[in-house]
Amino acid sequence: MIGLGTLGNIALILIGSTIGLVIKGGLKKRFQDTIMSALGLAVIFIGISGALEGLLVIEDGKISSSNIMLMIVSLAIGGFLGEAINIEDKLDQVGEWLKGKLKITKEKDKGFVQGFVNSSLLFCVGAMAIIGSLKDGLFADPTILLAKGFIDGVVAIFFASTLGIGVFFSVIPVGIYQGIITLAAGYIEPYLSERLITNLSFVGSILIFAIGINMIFGKKIKSGNLLPAVLIPIIYEIILNFYNHN
């Protein structure tokens, strides 16, 4: 069944968030702060490992750098576009709107918007979300998204235990994002190359790194406004294909 992967992913995030909310009630603030810092470190290193896969190449036993200019151009142009659209502010507004609809007071859940935005970005940005959705749409194979769901679910436990119920509602953008890719898989697949997937993955991993920085030090980087950076490798691939065919 096409779409089973995304549905399973959503279910596992909801389960993890629910467990985290139950745990949250019994955790003192100092435990929550320490867990958040630990998660931030984990997210940073997940981002670093993914980024290095696209930035470092081993040839003849020597390590050399690759895609440096693509990284710089992607982040610069992506940041400019994201700032012009002000994606981060719009994500915050969605979080505040949900918070208002649910009548959640600041005293009851101070981390609602942060939990919603950070978890939404983290669960959506990455190679597993893209590749898993494509396999789900093309072959009705949910395995990658279900594996991602288990990871997301574990992360959701700790996110929700420190940031609260906002993490629960991250399933909305996850469902929309992965659902669109799944439904459009047949149209996208012919244009995907291994190089493009690698480039999308490593640029996305840099954004994951930025999320980790914010988790530890507060909102120092507008990671939401950097989201258009993941579109630049697609434009780069189109330009390369055009050049190679002429």
Summarised one tens digit per residue, pLDDT across range 185-239 is 888 777 778 888 888 888 988 988 988 898 888 878 888 899 899 889 988 888 8
Q: Residue 89 pLDDT > 70, yes or no?
A: yes
Mean pLDDT of the chain: 86
Q: Residue 103 pLDDT > 90, yes or no?
A: no
Chain segment 33-53, per-residue pLDDT in tens: 888 888 889 888 888 988 888
Chain segment 128-150, per-residue pLDDT in tens: 888 889 889 988 899 989 999 99
The domain limits of the chain are 4-244
109 token code pair: 């859940």
Lowest mean pLDDT among 10-14, 68-72, 195-199: 195-199
Answer left, alpha or beta for residue 145, where phi above 0 means left and psi between -120 and 50 means alpha: alpha
With 0-12 / 13-18 / 19 or more C-beta atoms within 10 angstroms meaning exposed / middle / buried, residue 234 is middle
- 175 pLDDT band, cuts 50/70/90, is very high
